[in-house]
Structure 1
Amino acid sequence: MRAMAKLPQEVGRPRGRPREFDLDEALDKAIRVFREQGYNATSIGDLTEAMGLASGSIYKAFKDKRTVFLAALDRYMLLRNEQIAAVARAARTARERLRAVLGFYVESAKGVEGRRGCMVVGSAIELAIADREVAARITAALSRNEALLADLIRQGQADRSIPGKIDPDETARVMICLTQGLRVVGRAGRAPADTSAAVDIAMKLLA
């Protein structure tokens, strides 16, 4: 269910039901701005235009730009986690599920989606050094993704679709470096054109 943010009644307005806006929908629009422009280059004016809200409404609901950013980052990570989890459930063997997840990362780095960039990677580059709260969120996000890949490798070893000699944790860590690096080169329009070929190369880590 979508969250609804209620704005306090404006001074001088007649009594009645407070204005409402769809918080998730507003954050989705903010996500796009932050992905394309980054945090520092995004102004409250950019957010009001994208979110379709007056600046006063944003300040009442979120306090300041940083609060909007943190809420947008949390929603972005939630949505990405849901997408990745759905992809990871789609195939039969754990090896196939792992391949599907890697394919999702490659596809995400391509075309318009790739050029918009990943909010997690962008935040890590732009803000993580100076902002401990953002850094904690980025570390948690990368750790979750790494744990998912390691778990899929272990499942593959259990169903014998992945060799038992593979170290799940070390291999997952290398795969995270590959997938996040894809988002960086995707931002520059340099993501691999052939998803299958790129995934084939990544899967060689399981040989």
Structure 2
Amino acid sequence: MAGRPKIFDEQEAVAKATEVFRDKGYDTASADELLCAMGIGKGSFYLAFKGGKRELYIRSITQFSEHLYKKLSASISGSEDKIQFIRQFFLNLADASDCDKERGCYLGNALVQLSEKDHEIKKITVQLLKKLQALFAEAIKSAQADGQITNTEDPELIGWYLSNLWNGIHVTRRMEGSPEILKSIIEMNLKILN
């Protein structure tokens, strides 16, 4: 006997739960808030997410991470000026009025808040940082070969520098909300792309 069929789209339900986690945080998001946002009952929830709230959160982080990486990768690949795109990507981080889902601070928050408590969450966030590093390094290597930037540092190292900047800005914006200050910090760091 196969049991009752699922009557909801798991990816859509996870995306709705992500909004609750993004707004409330993992610890303060209640089961009732999650179920209400997802539009499912307890029975369906535990059938789909046998590990409960933790499994849902891990699925949320994974799905969000994959979406963010695919979108950023496609945008960089499709850009005529990859270095200018990367510059603008970082500068846009300063202008976000809140934890904008397109800029990835949900993952930055997960890395800061829970990665030391939960090995699986740390693994997911570390994988994203490594993928970002590789994406940035590839763009840098191409720009160096084309003479678009004069910096001759190892593109792999610059890629790590930029992924660290992405992560660091998400941490800094938790303490400093001034777009002007954030933009100045980002511009100073982006001199590495000259």
Count of residues in Structure 1 that have an aligned counterpart in Structure 2:
191
Q: Mapping of 1:11-22 within 5 angstroms? A: 18-22=5-9
For the structure 1 residues 195 and 185, does the alpha-carbon distance in structure 2 shift closer, same or farther, using more than 3 Å as the test?
closer
For the structure 1 residues 8 and 183, does the alpha-carbon distance in structure 2 shift closer, same or farther, using more than 3 Å as the test?
farther
For the structure 1 residues 173 and 58, does the alpha-carbon distance in structure 2 shift closer, same or farther, using more than 3 Å as the test?
same
1:57 alignment partner in structure 2: 44
Contact 2:129–2:163 (Cα < 8 Å) also in 1: yes
Identity of aligned residues (%): 27
For the structure 1 residues 202 and 79, does the alpha-carbon distance in structure 2 shift closer, same or farther, using more than 3 Å as the test?
same
1:133, distance to aligned residue in structure 2 (A): 1.3
**Structure 2, unaligned stretches of length 5 or more?**
none
**Residue among 112, 128, 140 paired with 2:127:** 140
3-state SS of the aligned residue for 2:165?
Answer: helix
1:123, distance to aligned residue in structure 2 (A): 1.6
For the structure 1 residues 188 and 198, does the alpha-carbon distance in structure 2 shift closer, same or farther, using more than 3 Å as the test?
closer
State how far apart, in whole Å, the 2-side matches of 1:117 and 1:91 are.
20
1:106, distance to aligned residue in structure 2 (A): 4.2
For the structure 1 residues 181 and 167, does the alpha-carbon distance in structure 2 shift closer, same or farther, using more than 3 Å as the test?
same
Contact 1:89–1:97 (Cα < 8 Å) also in 2: no
2:77 alignment partner in structure 1: 89
1:195, distance to aligned residue in structure 2 (A): 8.8
1:120, distance to aligned residue in structure 2 (A): 1.7
**Residue among 54, 59, 62 paired with 1:66:** 54
Q: Name which of structure 1's ranges 167-176 and 47-56 shifts more when overlaid on structure 2.
A: 167-176
User: 1:26 aligned to 2:13?
Assistant: yes
RMSD between aligned alpha carbons?
A: 2.8
User: 1:119 aligned to 2:106?
Assistant: yes
